Amino acid sequence: MRIIAGEHKGRQLKSVPGKMTRPTTDKVKEAVFQVIGPFFQGGIVLDLFAGSGGLGIEALSRGMDKAVFVDKQPKAIHTIYENIKQFGLEERVEVFRADAYRAMQAAAKRNLQFDLVLLDPPYKKVHYENLLHELIKLDLLKPEARIYCEHDLSEKLPTDLREQHLEIVKQSNYGGTIGITIYKKN
């Protein structure tokens, strides 16, 4: 795993030991960031189910100002801290060991809003529609925010979320097993 572009281009990321996480491949990461923002002019990213923190660190490398990383696995949290230290990003990040819903509620209490939300949970373990509704209900999205969802192709993500002011920007599959759906708040 490596950073694809930006300030830290080409640098290697540490992976979470064991089989609890599934890192996003470089090919998928590169394709996705071409859609959600090849480069950013600041902003805040929320990386739920962060694993090693690779997606959030990629967003920071491409110009996001700040990142909030959330994972409930101790090994993932340890790896995120290692990667953050290795890249010298300590001043630009917050890391929380928590359930995704608890973390979203905590962010809402602090009146945080995000320009980019990265959702890459363990496949078939979460209900994406519930996560999307919670992001809207808690007012965690800035205008024009993007939400990246990586999922198993067998999981059908909601396509009509106009009532929640979300529209699909891109939906595609990679390698016949990985689905990507990107929403935009409008």
Q: Which domains does the chain have, with CATH numbers?
A: 26-185 (3.40.50.150)
pLDDT in tens, 121-169: 887 788 888 999 999 999 999 999 999 998 888 887 877 777 778 999 9
The C-alpha angle 30, 32, 37, rounded to 5 degrees, equals 95
Beta-bridge mates of residue 184: 146, 167
SS3 for 63-117, per residue? Answer: CCCEEEEEECCHHHHHHHHHHHHHHCCHHHEEEEECCHHHHHHHHHHCCCCEEEE
What is the pLDDT confidence band of residue 88, given thresholds at 50, 70 and 90? very high
d(CA 169, CA 158): 13
Taking alpha carbons only, the member of 154, 159, 114, 128 closest to residue 49 is 128
pLDDT at residue number 20: 60
61 vs 17, more confident:
61
Q: In what order do the strands lie in the sheet with 44-48?
A: 93-97, 66-71, 44-48, 114-119, 141-152, 178-185, 166-174
22 vs 125, more confident:
125
Mean pLDDT for the stretch of residues 61-79:
96
**Residue 108 near residue 117, CB atoms below 8 Å:** no
**pTM confidence score:** 0.93
Beta-bridge mates of residue 3: none
